[in-house]
């Protein structure tokens, strides 16, 4: 784009931009930094299986109302093209506490109504699992939640579900993206706020979701034990407290400083329970309150982090796989039948498959991302789905929605802590018992921050020319999973290391696993190959 075309395009965006703060930012770019202006308009945010995520700001490569309107218009056209009942079924739209989430959601509803698609707009901030659950409860054609989940505070995002309550997978993402590409972001038709096709929803759907929560319990006869909880400045807090009450469990001790929704996340630099230090306040509350487990949601409450006490009085944050193993062992042990199914992802531990084999049930390993777990459930209608998890703290332990749910997972983990206490053991004892039965599966992961294009290129280079050895161990097998953009290296001695570019963050992710051996040196050696 030459300079004249660039300024013309930027001028059209400036004229169409409804928000003063973004207009001021864009005007400053037009008046000043030509390179940054060119960078903002060099492309548009690409809509993929995670929808859209970026920092809030001006231009087509940031999250703003024009970008959201363009995305909503593309989604609306895709629904009209693919669902003959879209104008009857409508969409449901929710949002979290991040910057501009409410106006992004309202604009989505106005775009839908303008083309004749009814929009049910939440009148309050809502956890992502409640939005996803509401899609099937209402029979909608699709659902949208405005959230950047656990991304940094400056970001916001746009996540899309279709009528089954699962995140979109190919070819839907490609189809929606193509429709978005045909929309002029500066001239999207909007219905008025009071259009009769826009209705508000709220308490009635939260109430219905809460009413479904007690079904997740397997041992409602077991009295609860003290647990601690943090909402991490997200929107899950009130819903979690209500879920515990409905399930007959005592209210958790909460981290007061992190309970109220706050999109600036004042007590954490990175609001992700996986990040070192993010759960420190929680573990302090857990220790002082005599808790048996410490539970953390991410800001949109679709993930669950856990920490457990140790024999010396300290607390240890569990890895995502360890939480998944505990869920699997509990749920597989509380039911019978060879028609059961458990699902995990390529980058999660191999132990779930071994546990499933020991119980004589089916196990599926699918691509990275919870959308693929939902797809695996759909692909096995003859099997009873028991649970699914991904090591990035995503767990599905209830019948609906077909997406990760940190609220029902928190309720079930609290019950598991109570069952363990009733049996006279700790959660660490439980993990040690799993190690005695299946071998101690040791996991390690790492992330190397880099821009998405560089991350994809680095992984592609390793795929094209696999190393002969990693960390002094010969590579005995290389497996590629192109749909997951993942490469798996099997090393001598049974060590497994894997690498992929992140689908939601500017980084390359690495994963390692070994039995009775530390895989971290091999993960570090693989990371060094990215230099």
Give me the active site residues, please: 149
DSSP 417-429: HHHHHHTT--HHH
Beta strands in 2-69 (DSSP E): 52-55
Q: What are phi and psi of 112, to 5 degrees?
A: -60, -50
- Burial class (CB within 10 angstroms; exposed 0-12, middle 13-18, buried 19+) of 428: middle
- Burial class (CB within 10 angstroms; exposed 0-12, middle 13-18, buried 19+) of 314: exposed
Phi/psi region, residue 516 (left: phi>0; alpha: psi -120 to 50; beta: rest), is left
Pairing of the two strands 228-230 and 507-515: unpaired
The partner residues of 471 in beta bridges, in order of sequence, read: none
Can you list the pairs that 277-282 forms with residues at least 24 positions away whose Cβ atoms lie under 8 Å?
A: 278/232, 278/305, 279/230, 279/305, 279/307, 279/317, 281/230, 281/255, 281/257, 282/228, 282/229, 282/230, 282/255, 282/258, 282/307
* Closest listed residue to residue 348, CA positions, set 366, 333, 361: 366
Q: What CA–CA distance (Å, rounded) separates 521 from 313?
A: 29
Q: Residue 171, preceding bond cis, omega within 30 degrees?
A: yes
**Token code pair at residue 497:** 């290391």
- Burial class (CB within 10 angstroms; exposed 0-12, middle 13-18, buried 19+) of 175: middle
Q: What CA–CA distance (Å, rounded) separates 230 from 301?
A: 10
Q: What CA–CA distance (Å, rounded) separates 315 from 176?
A: 45
State the residue for tokens 């989940």. 149
Which H or E element spans position 500?
strand 496-501
Q: What CA–CA distance (Å, rounded) separates 402 from 380?
A: 14
Q: What are phi and psi of 301, to 5 degrees?
A: 65, 25
């Amino acid at each position: 784009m030459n300079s004249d075309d660039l300024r013309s395009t930027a001028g059209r965006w400036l004229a169409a931009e409804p928000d003063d703060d973004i207009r001021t930012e864009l005007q400053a770019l037009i008046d000043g930094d030509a390179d940054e202006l060119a960078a903002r308009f060099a492309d548009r945010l690409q809509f993929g299986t995670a929808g859209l995520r970026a920092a809030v700001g001006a231009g087509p490569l940031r999250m703003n109302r024009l970008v959201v309107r363009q995305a909503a218009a593309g989604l609306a056209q895709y629904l009209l093209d693919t669902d003959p009942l879209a104008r009857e079924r409508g969409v449901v739209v929710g949002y979290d506490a991040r910057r501009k989430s409410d106006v992004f959601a309202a604009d989505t509803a106005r775009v839908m109504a303008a083309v004749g698609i009814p929009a049910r707009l939440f009148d309050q901030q809502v956890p992502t699992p409640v939005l996803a659950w509401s899609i099937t409860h209402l029979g909608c054609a699709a659902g949208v939640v405005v959230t950047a989940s656990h991304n940094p505070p400056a970001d916001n995002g746009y996540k899309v579900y279709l009528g089954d309550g699962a995140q979109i997978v190919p070819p839907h993402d490609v189809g929606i993206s193509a429709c978005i590409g045909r929309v002029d972001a500066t001239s999207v038709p909007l219905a008025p706020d009071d259009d009769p096709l826009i209705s508000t929803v709220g308490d009635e759907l939260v109430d219905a979701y809460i009413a479904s929560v007690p079904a997740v319990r397997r041992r409602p006869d077991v009295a609860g034990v003290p647990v601690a909880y943090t909402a991490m400045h997200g929107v899950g807090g009130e819903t979690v407290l209500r879920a515990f009450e409905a399930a007959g469990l005592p209210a958790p001790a909460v981290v007061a400083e992190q309970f109220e929704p706050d999109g600036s996340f004042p007590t954490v630099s990175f609001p992700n329970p996986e990040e070192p230090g993010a759960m420190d306040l929680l573990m302090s509350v857990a220790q002082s309150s005599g808790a048996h487990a410490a539970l953390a949601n991410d800001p949109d409450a679709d993930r669950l982090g856990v920490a457990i006490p140790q024999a010396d009085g300290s607390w240890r944050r569990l890895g995502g796989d360890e939480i998944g193993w505990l869920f699997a062992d509990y749920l597989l042990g509380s039911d019978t039948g060879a028609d059961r199914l458990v699902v995990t992802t390529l980058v999660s531990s191999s132990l779930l498959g071994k546990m499933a084999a020991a119980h004589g049930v089916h196990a599926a390993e699918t691509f990275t991302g919870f959308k693929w777990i939902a797809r695996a459930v759909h692909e096995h209608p003859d099997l009873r789905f028991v649970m699914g998890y991904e090591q990035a703290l995503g767990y599905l332990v209830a019948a609906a929605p077909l997406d990760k749910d940190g609220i029902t997972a928190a309720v079930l983990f609290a019950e598991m802590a109570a069952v363990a206490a009733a049996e006279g053991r700790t959660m660490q004892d439980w993990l040690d018992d799993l190690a005695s039965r299946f071998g101690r599966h040791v996991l390690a992961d790492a992330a190397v921050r880099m821009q998405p294009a560089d991350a994809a290129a680095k992984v592609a280079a390793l795929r094209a020319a696999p190393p002969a050895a990693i960390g002094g161990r010969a590579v005995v097998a290389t497996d590629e999973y192109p749909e997951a953009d993942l490469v798996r290296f099997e090393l001598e001695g049974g060590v497994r290391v894997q690498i992929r570019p992140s689908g939601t963050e500017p980084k390359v992710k690495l994963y390692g696993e070994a039995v009775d051996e530390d895989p971290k040196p091999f993960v570090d050696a693989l990371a060094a190959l990215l230099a």
